[in-house]
A = this chain, B = another copy of it.
Amino acid sequence: MDEFMQAAIDEAEQGLKEGGIPIGSVLVYQGKIIGRGHNLRIQKKSAILHGEMAALEHAGRQPASVYRNSTLYTTLSPCPMCSGAIRLYQIPRVIIGENQTFLGDEEMLKASGVEIEVLQNAKCISLMEQLKDSSPELWNEDIGEE
């Protein structure tokens, strides 16, 4: 297991411990994690702090050159909002834990020139399957579904 995807999974599991949605993410620049976070919908009553957004927020203000040489790791396929953030900052590479339980805007990312790798990691899948089984209404809220 890549240490960075492991860090994203650690974030997802931390979210689960907090009673939250188990999705985590880390932003990696020059071989180091410069931002990390997990979904905070429940913990902060947040509509925008998905895992990827939390990692970007934690990284703070960065120049364009940093984003353009970074890799974003996320345990789940990025939704339209998070994909839009990836496009805004022109992050060139995204490593995705899995896209079996939810398929985000990967086609648009690819069309924008973003390199994508999907791992279909069993732990990432299991975390999301548990959430969708136990709290389908919460998951629907997180992705704007009825």
Closest B residue to A53 by beta carbon equals: B48
Total identical chains? 2
A139 → B minimal CB distance (Å)? 12
Question: Which among B45, B48, B65, B140 is the interface contact of A48 at CB below 8 angstroms?
Answer: B48
Report B-chain residues with C-beta under 8 Å of the C-beta of A145: 64
Cβ of A63 under 8 Å from chain B: yes
Distance between Cα atoms of A45 and B57 in the complex (Å): 8
Report B-chain residues with C-beta under 8 Å of the C-beta of A67: 144
Cβ of A85 under 8 Å from chain B: yes
A141 → B minimal CB distance (Å)? 7
Distance between Cα atoms of A140 and B60 in the complex (Å): 15
For the complex, count residues of A whose C-beta is within 8 A of B.
35
Report B-chain residues with C-beta under 8 Å of the C-beta of A146: 63-65
Cβ of A83 under 8 Å from chain B: yes
Report B-chain residues with C-beta under 8 Å of the C-beta of A59: 47
Report B-chain residues with C-beta under 8 Å of the C-beta of A46: 57, 60-61
Looking at A7-15, A87-95, A116-124, the stretch in contact with chain B turns out to be: A87-95
Contacting pair A143 B88 (CB below 8 A): yes
Cβ of A136 under 8 Å from chain B: no
Contacting pair B105 A84 (CB below 8 A): yes
Knowing that A65-B146, A90-B144 touch, tell me 14 more A-B residue pairs with CB under 8 angstroms: A46-B57, A46-B60, A46-B61, A47-B57, A47-B89, A48-B85, A49-B57, A63-B141, A67-B144, A79-B84, A80-B84, A81-B87, A81-B88, A84-B85
